[in-house]
Structure 1
Amino acid sequence: MPDSLTVFITGASAGIGAACARAFAARGDRVVLAARSTDALESLAADLNGALGAGTALVVPLDVTDAQAHLDAVAGLPDGWAEVDVAVLNAGLSKGLDPVWKNTVEDVDRMVDVNVKGVINGLRALVPGMLDRGRGHVITLASTAGHTVYPGGVVYCATKHAVRALTDGLKVDLHGTPIRVSAVSPGMVETDFSLVRFDGDRERADAVYADTTPLSAEDVADAVVYCAHAPAHVNVQELLLTPRVQSGFTMIARGEAADRVEGR
């Protein structure tokens, strides 16, 4: 892999995706910013290109649930950007916190389409070029939810179990090739994740992170960059990270208990 990488990031308009873009760019890599929110992408690209030099970031409007659009987006990358070294398949979401039989059809379809089909579409679009070039790295954003289930999050957990299976299966399918495959699986991270889950209910979303210290998007981005820039012979199969206040995937220390954990 070259010292300076070309990194294709889905869900790059906010949260972990945007943090990954900033972290890779700060290290000297070039980033392809892919998401549906064109205005947010343009703003991020302007910041990166202004601070780090023109040609640091490229905007690619993309709905990851559209398989043909994903193929077209990769095929349409301009000269100098087409040789993608690292694919960070980050786009994902959760909707609702209801028992599985109460999930709406729309919420189920949205989670499966973005979290599962979005990853498959990314693999179909990006892996063939990596094989042709004889180098590349696919990094999926999985979750501690892919290791367990919790009340109200069953469908979301099922999609993240699927992401882990896709990641592990891709490594098997690529056995004997130079392509690396990694999953980064964070626990509680304070982003707009809960705001999306609760349909914009800020009070309910803020309560998820109240009186405790979750991971930040930047913490997760550090892990992603580590995987991508590990020595060429090293494949980080999965990097599982949680905040210190989180135990057993669903246990979160809060208030005085969180203060003791943080050593304050």
Structure 2
Amino acid sequence: MSRIALITGATSGIGKATAEAFANSEINLILCGRRQEVLGELKTYFSSKVKVITLTFDVRNKESVFLAIASLPEEWKNIDILVNNAGNAHGFSPIQDGDVDDWDAMIDGNVQGLLYVSKAVIPQMVERQTGHIVNLSSVAGKQTYANGAVYCASKAAVEALSEGMRYDLTAHGIKITNIAPGAVETDFSLVRFKGDAERAKKVYEGFEPIQPEDVADAILYSINTPARVTIADIVLYAKAQAAPTVIYRK
């Protein structure tokens, strides 16, 4: 069987674009997400190119993560590439006005979820002494900004986990790549602003934001380098973006 990639948060945005890029490169897909109907549609779409299997779970639910990944058929258990893409941003307010439920959603999804999925996948990579883990952090994990303290903290944790994984797993032949996108036009802002479409739209006005396909290209590049090369960290900004919160709009 060709290489097998497991992608979390595969039903939209960067995850879906990465699945497309991988399928075009003949990498078989384990697509994971919460929306079973969408996963079914993606399976039908990608099955004309590669072998596809879907797993429905929320990365925040430890039991669901381990049960789902353990349920993979034997021929799918040797995962070559893990893309930890699932994550979220909830709310945009000063720390003193923050909603604790929003904090829990971000910490549980962006940090705990990444850990749960990684824990379920890493042992077989260690046993085989090969594998590649790609973690999606954010430029927010490199530079904190006002009204985003907890989100930035969760993505800074992803940065630290990527570095820590590299220390622990390089000796086992496992590559670790951290991808930190800037302003990507996805449902990110719509979720952050609780479905306020007008407010979310304004985030991307006046400049050309990164598209999910651009991030997928970076992921594809990182997993296709020669065996002797590890791409440790990639930062992607929109051309008009100089820093997480510095965007030159027309």
Q: State the Cα distance separating 1:144 from its structure 2 match.
A: 0.4
Distance of 1:175 and 1:216 partners within structure 2: 31
**How many aligned positions are there?**
250
Instruction: State whether structure 2 residue 14 is matched by structure 1 residue 16.
Output: yes
Q: Counterparts of 1:31-180 in structure 2 under 5 Å?
A: 31-50=29-48, 52=49, 55=51, 57-180=52-175
CA-based RMSD: 1.1
Q: State the Cα distance separating 1:8 from its structure 2 match.
A: 0.2
Distance of 1:244 and 1:199 partners within structure 2: 28
Distance of 2:68 and 2:223 partners within structure 1: 22
Instruction: State whether structure 2 residue 239 is matched by structure 1 residue 244.
Output: yes
Q: Deviations over 1:104-140 (max 9, x none)?
A: 1110000000000011101211111101112101100
- TM-score scaled by length of structure 2: 0.97
Q: Aligned to 1:116, what secondary structure does the other structure show?
A: helix
Q: Aligned to 1:176, what secondary structure does the other structure show?
A: helix
1:260 is matched with: none
Q: Which amino acid aligns with 1:219?
A: D
1:262 is matched with: none
Distance of 2:3 and 2:212 partners within structure 1: 21
Q: Aligned to 2:172, what secondary structure does the other structure show?
A: coil
Distance of 2:165 and 2:112 partners within structure 1: 14
Distance of 1:31 and 1:230 partners within structure 2: 19
Q: Aligned to 1:63, what secondary structure does the other structure show?
A: coil
Q: State the Cα distance separating 1:101 from its structure 2 match.
A: 1.5
2:185 is matched with: 190
Q: Which amino acid aligns with 1:41?
A: L
Q: Counterparts of 1:228-243 in structure 2 under 5 Å?
A: 228-243=223-238
Q: State the Cα distance separating 1:227 from its structure 2 match.
A: 0.8
Q: Which amino acid aligns with 2:22?
A: F
The list of structure 1 runs, each at least 4 consecutive aligned residues, that deviate by more than 2 angstroms after superposition, is none
Q: Percent identity?
A: 40
Q: State the Cα distance separating 1:79 from its structure 2 match.
A: 3.0
Distance of 1:200 and 1:44 partners within structure 2: 24
Q: State the Cα distance separating 1:248 from its structure 2 match.
A: 2.3
Q: Which amino acid aligns with 1:133?
A: R
Instruction: Specify every segment of 5 or more residues in structure 1 that has no aligned partner in the other structure, as ranges.
Output: 256-264
Q: Which amino acid aligns with 2:131?
A: G
- TM-score scaled by length of structure 1: 0.92
Q: Which amino acid aligns with 2:37?
A: D
Distance of 2:230 and 2:59 partners within structure 1: 26
Instruction: Specify every segment of 5 or more residues in structure 2 that has no aligned partner in the other structure, as ranges.
Output: none
Q: Deviations over 1:157-186 (max 9, x none)?
A: 000000000110011112422011110110
Q: Which amino acid aligns with 1:5?
A: R
Q: State the Cα distance separating 1:211 from its structure 2 match.
A: 1.4
